[in-house]
């Protein structure tokens, strides 16, 4: 994939009435990942592309970040001017050694954390969807709906990378 996640730019202009649509994308990510990895060999799941993450490490990375997404909801509720920053070194993912963990455990943990995040969004008061805070890396205002969209786009970025790894392995 030629475009790195950190090179992406966003215009946060979704109408707030699309909030339920964006939440459905987030709700579906665990099932999409489970479908994508079903039947793949452990060797393919844990094969790295040079220094780039394996499929299993991408799954673990998404799990690692769900706590940040949930914490950012707390930032909105607390009236923070700036959302808490992500660790751009991805230390948690690098140190977790996701390739040594059973895939079923990673999938179950991701599903559990994502369901927790989506449940908070499902219960979010409609009047609060437009709360705004500054995204620390993008240096632009972000609403709650934008956080949800940003997270869904991040999910899709990693799903696309997993697909590339699968296609690259089967092309050999």
pLDDT by residue (tens digit) across 109-126?
999 999 999 999 999 988
Residue 4 domain flag: no
* Residue 52's CATH number: 1.20.120.450
Stretch 22-31: mean pLDDT? 98
Q: Is residue 12 part of a domain?
A: no
Confidence band, pLDDT 50/70/90 cuts, at residue 77: very high
The C-alpha atoms of residue 108 and residue 116 are separated, in whole angstroms, by 12
- Count of domains forming the chain: 1
For position 83, what pLDDT does the model report? 98
Nearest C-alpha neighbor of 82 from the set 141, 31, 25, 124: 141
CA-to-CA separations, 19 to 110, 151, 153, in angstroms, rounded:
22, 13, 14
Q: Which residue has the higher pLDDT, 105 or 171?
A: 105
How confident is the model at residue 2, as a pLDDT?
61
Structural domain span for residue 120: 17-170
Using alpha carbons, select from 72, 52, 76 the residue that is nearest to residue 130.
Answer: 76
Report yes or no: 62 and 69 within 8 Å, Cβ to Cβ.
no
Q: Is residue 10 part of a domain?
A: no
C-alpha span between 129 and 95 (Å, rounded): 34
Q: How far apart are CA 6 and CA 116, in angstroms?
A: 26
Structural domain contains residue 6:
no
- Indicate the pLDDT class of residue 171, thresholds 50, 70 and 90: low
Predicted TM-score (pTM) of this structure: 0.94
Is residue 79 over pLDDT 60? yes
For the cut 80, the answer to whether the pLDDT of residue 172 exceeds it is no
Residue 93 lies in a domain: yes
Instruction: Tell me, yes or no, whether 128 lies in a domain.
Output: yes
Residue 160 lies in a domain: yes
Buried b (16+ CB within 10 A) or exposed e, 19-29: beebbebbbeb
pLDDT band at 60 (very low <50, low <70, confident <90, very high): very high
Q: Flag whether pLDDT at 13 surpasses 80.
A: yes
Residue 107 lies in a domain: yes
Instruction: Please say whether the beta carbons of 155 and 63 come within 8 A.
Output: no
């Amino acid at each position: 994939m030629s475009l790195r996640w950190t090179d992406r730019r966003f215009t946060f202009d979704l109408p707030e009435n699309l909030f339920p649509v964006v939440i459905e994308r987030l709700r579906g990510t665990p099932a999409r990942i489970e479908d994508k990895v079903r039947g793949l060999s452990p060797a393919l799941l844990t094969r790295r592309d040079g220094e780039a993450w394996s499929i299993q490490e991408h799954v673990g990375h998404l799990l690692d970040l769900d706590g940040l997404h949930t914490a950012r909801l707390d930032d909105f509720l607390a009236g923070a001017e700036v959302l808490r920053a992500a660790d751009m070194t991805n230390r948690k993912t690098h140190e977790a050694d996701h390739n040594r963990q059973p895939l079923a455990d990673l999938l179950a943990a991701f599903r559990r954390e994502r369901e927790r995040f989506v449940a908070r969004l499902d219960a979010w008061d409609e009047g609060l969807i437009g709360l705004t805070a500054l995204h620390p890396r993008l240096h632009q205002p972000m609403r709650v709906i934008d956080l949800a969209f940003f997270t869904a786009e991040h999910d899709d970025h990693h799903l696309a990378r997993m697909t590339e790894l699968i296609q690259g392995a089967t092309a050999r």
